[in-house]
A and B are shown apart, each in its own frame.
Chain A
Amino acid sequence: MNWTGRGNDYFYPPFKTNFMNQNKTFLFCLLRNIENCKQMRNFQVLLLLFVLLASASCTTSPMEEFVVGKNFIKDQAGIVKIDTISIQSSVVKFDSVISSSSGKFLIGSNYNPFSGYKASNTYFTLKFDGTIDNTKFVYDSLCLVLSYDSYFAGDTLVSQKFSVHPLTEKLTTTNRNSSYLYTTDKFAYDTTPLGSVEFKPRPRSNNQLTIRLSDTFGGKLADMIKAKKEDITSSTSFMENVLKGIVIKPEQNVNGSILRFRTADIDKKNVLSKNKNLSKPEMRLYYHLVPNPNELKDLYYKFSFNSDGIYFNQIEENNKNSAIEGIESTRNEKVSKLTGNQTIVQSGVQLFTKLKIPYIKNLTKSASNPAVVGAFLRLFPIKGTYTKASELPDSLYIYTANKNNKLLGQVTLPGQSTKYVLVRLGRDQNRNVIVDEKDRVYYEVDISAFVEAEIADQSLTTNSLFIGFGSGSYQKTAEHVLIGGVNSGKYSPALSVFYYHN
């Protein structure tokens, strides 16, 4: 087969193959036709090239992420911050706060106009500590010695009067509903004090507070020691028959301070020399010897704080004429509108700041804001209600509570079950308290997990946030922070929710 002529645009070349009669595919025909071509080699090369191209086509070389400028894409998709979500704030009082075995004695009385007067009384027991080596001694005096723990809440410039009363009832948790004692529990005591002291508190002095007790009682104890009575040496008998326990009470309705005292001996190895005999509370029976051949001085028998026994801080309050007066009659809750647009976080008589986000379940109902990627809450302590920002509590606790104001648990980090968030005082890298552009210090907390949980919750009820002192600290501290409630201008709580917007 060969071609006999060449065609031009208007002339058909004498083409010898009739495709119609060949039972081959189009492509095969094409190839077959090409085989007959004198430029066959050329074509094969071309064909090979085509096959290569075809096989390699549709591939894209991997490309690293190409960073473009901020203006390249200006779409709506992105993260937006919304801080106009409405909040409701109120104060909630918790009646029953566990305070048994709290680890510290809280004694004193303080005041703030928001929640009124508080007085903390400590109930505890004593036991004889040591051995009776001298029975021939002369009784001198009986004292109760308490060691300051440096911590205080309130005004220490005000003189206070502490009185020590013997209990007429055994300290016990039996016949009570719980194995704990609460700040509101009551035990009977003899209203005639064993002794009292009026003093100016020096909580940071590393000194001790000594309360002189009744010599009548002291003499009686001395006689029992001389007789080596079992009522002294056996702590059970001592508490049964001699001294059931003690309550130290401050004078009430004093705008002073609540002081904290140690319940354990100081570890002397780790303490500077100036922190001399800082010990747990003890009652000392001072005596001298006659004759005194070895010139011994400062002799005493001691009855130490029975740390294995039952002890607790009882806190009495008097909120008459305060902002929260009558809170008990409104289910222990008062909205901040009725408390001067302020709320409080207080330990001892536990007061929580309650924040409710009424429309929290609707936060992601808008199609353009379908996801929350973080939510922050800022609370602002009111300037003038604290002396120094650096003395504000470093952190507060935050809980979720149901509609009945029952605490459900601490707020965690998103997706976590045990990593709890704290409401922290804003500090810079050098640990200095940050004062923002509006001359405010602030507490801040990530409440993303709370928001997530509320949005995910299908029920109709809305939980709220409770900010307060922690379960550990509220047994030991007796302080408060006044915080702006809603509609308190620049001190209003600020909720910032970060959304994905599309």
Chain B
Amino acid sequence: MKYIFSAIVLLLSGASVLAQNSTSSPYSKFGIGELEMAAGGRNAGMGETGIALRSNMFFNSANPASLTAIEPQSFLFDMGFNYKYTQLSNTQKKANVTDGNISWVQMGFPISKKFYGGFSVNPKSSVGYDIYLLKTIDGTSFEYPSIYQGSGGLSESALMLAWKISKNISLGGKGGYIWGNVTQTIDQTVSVSSTNYEILQTDNIHYSGGYFNLGTQITIPLNSKSTLIFGALAGLSSDMKAKISTSITKSYEGISEVISNTNKNSYAKKLPLDLGTGVSFLYGLKWVGTFDYKRSNWNDANLMYDSNKLTTNNSFRGGVEFAPKEEKQSFRQTIRYRMGYRYETGYLKLFNNQIHEQALSVGFGMPIRKDKSYANFSLEFGTRGTKTASLVKENFVKFNCSLNLFDRWFYKRQID
């Protein structure tokens, strides 16, 4: 049990840094920030699929029912990092940004023959923007600059429990807690007269809330080589509390005064109701092909600003994995090549432009020991947004790297 303890310590130490922002996207101003993908290292290479993926070697937190694929007396530990290079552009300007963060720390293990457990800590969302805007005072031709800045993000930690109802049917539940701080500032400089006024509004928002979702996976063997897996996922819509403290400072001519300091506690926003379904097709141990559809209804996620800008995200994701050698024949671990594509209609709708996102991913898993541990690498090439209607287009390359460790426990040492 010592390493469980150690693992928890490691997870928690990882969690302490998770809440940092790792985005520079102007779109992270909206909603709870840019949503992070944290299903696992294998998923990242396969277009972030996972609802119908099962593996005894790769941790998949996209569907808690997949935990039942873990072998008895073994555990899976997965820790990932990412680097994202983004080119932001609109009709006037381009900017290049790089962000990096821990992607996830997660672990799964069998509890008994029927029950499996797991936990995960990962960033849920990131906020990091720096937007410069020239606004006009209504009824005048007077323009003044406004600088919007945001930082912070939400973290998520979750416990998973899965039940292997029968050989082919599994049910899993994931209960999590989301928390974090987001700081948003608006800095406006006005000089309608000969005096310069600077108004700085700072909103510190502390979010906290729990959520629960259920997943299931059904394995249908078609013949000796082919297997079909169906997966489904349903998340309960849940409330998230937001404590907002707002302070407004006015400065002019060397005078600086706090003109307003308010705290609001009663504020709540709804996390979206997620519904997803997926299917995988396995051909021997060589080929895995999978497709996911997921719908996240962000319409009800009331937000402090811009409440009308969130909408339903439909995501369509597909991925394939190929292992050149069938493990049973080679008796050696083999490199697994992956590829995926995803298309998200986007949960943001700005001026009737839904902020679509699509990305192509390629990756591979490299065995790092004779055992079943893998280092997973993937690159995701994607675009998000549009240049039309004064919006921003993002072209990005995201590098994901994870260490997926397979190990044994409760296993007696053999004496030679």
Contacts and interface: CB of A to CB of B under 8 A. Distances in A.
Interface of A: 3, 6-10, 12-21, 25-27, 29-30, 33-34, 37-39, 42-43, 46, 49-50, 53-54, 56-61, 63-81, 83, 364, 367, 370-371, 373-374, 376, 413-416, 446, 448, 498, 500, 502
A26 B2 contact: yes
Nearest to A52: B81
24 contacts: A7-B372, A16-B416, A19-B2, A27-B6, A30-B405, A38-B370, A43-B368, A53-B401, A59-B99, A68-B390, A70-B133, A70-B390, A72-B26, A76-B305, A79-B188, A371-B199, A373-B192, A373-B197, A373-B250, A374-B190, A413-B194, A446-B193, A502-B201, A502-B248
A21 B403 CA distance: 25
B140 interface: yes
Contacts of B416: 16
Given A6-B331, A26-B3, A500-B199, A60 B128 contact: yes
A57 B412 CA distance: 38
Interface in B188-217: 188, 190, 192-195, 197, 199, 201
Given A46-B375, A72-B390, A25 B6 contact: yes
Given A9-B56, A50-B401, A500-B199, A77 B413 contact: no
B248 A60 contact: no
Contact of B369 (A37, A60, A364): A37
**Which 3 pairs between the two chains have the least Cβ-Cβ distance?**
A69-B390, A415-B253, A18-B413
Most interface-central of A16, A72, A76, A415 (chain B CB within 10 A): A72
B73 interface: yes
Contact of A60 (B22, B328, B392): B22
B3 A29 contact: yes
Contacts, number: 253
Interface stretch (B141-149, B159-167, B172-180, B313-321): B141-149
Contacts of B409: 19-20
Contacts of B255: 414-415
A27 B252 contact: no
Contact of A69 (B71, B391, B414): B391
B302 interface: no
A373 B306 contact: no
B250 A371 contact: yes
Interface in B372-394: 372, 375, 389-392
Contacts of B133: 67-68, 70, 72-73
B3 A46 contact: no
B195 A26 contact: no
Contact of B24 (A7, A29, A63, A371): A63
A462 to B, nearest CB: 20
A16 B4 CA distance: 20
Contacts of B97: 60-61, 63
B325 to A, nearest CB: 13
Contacts of A16: 413-414, 416
B81 A34 contact: no
A267 B268 CA distance: 79
B312 interface: no
A309 B131 CA distance: 69
The secondary-structure label for the interface of chain A is loop
A54 B130 contact: no
A61 B98 contact: yes
B228 interface: no
Contacts of B23: 60
Given A448-B195, A500-B250, A80 B137 contact: yes
B130 A57 contact: no
Contact of B350 (A8, A57, A70, A72): A72
A54 B81 contact: yes
Contact of A34 (B95, B246, B369): B369
Interface in B216-256: 246, 248, 250, 252-255
A228 B133 CA distance: 86
B190 A26 contact: no
Most interface-central of A9, A10, A413 (chain B CB within 10 A): A9
B258 to A, nearest CB: 10
Contact of A63 (B91, B130, B372): B130
B186 interface: yes
B81 A364 contact: no
Given A69-B390, A72-B131, 15 more contacts: A26-B5, A26-B7, A30-B407, A39-B367, A60-B24, A65-B130, A67-B132, A73-B306, A79-B188, A80-B137, A371-B259, A373-B192, A413-B253, A414-B252, A448-B193
A87 to B, nearest CB: 19
Given A60-B128, A364-B259, A371-B248, A70 B81 contact: no
A415 B198 CA distance: 13
B102 interface: yes
B316 to A, nearest CB: 27
Nearest to B85: A61
Contacts of A63: 24, 95, 97, 130
B345 interface: no
A27 B77 CA distance: 12
Given A53-B83, A57-B100, A75 B306 contact: yes
A371 B10 contact: no
Contacts of A6: 331-332, 370
A43 to B, nearest CB: 5
Interface string B113-133: 000000000000000101111
Contacts of B305: 75-77
Interface string B1-45: 011111100100000010011111010010000000000000000
B113 to A, nearest CB: 14
B192 A65 contact: no
Given A39-B370, A53-B83, A77-B201, A12 B411 contact: yes
Interface in B305-360: 305-306, 327-328, 331-332, 350-351
B260 interface: yes
B413 A68 contact: no
B49 interface: no
Contact of A498 (B21, B192, B246, B331): B192
Nearest to A72: B390
A60 B99 contact: yes
Contact of B403 (A3, A46, A75, A413): A46
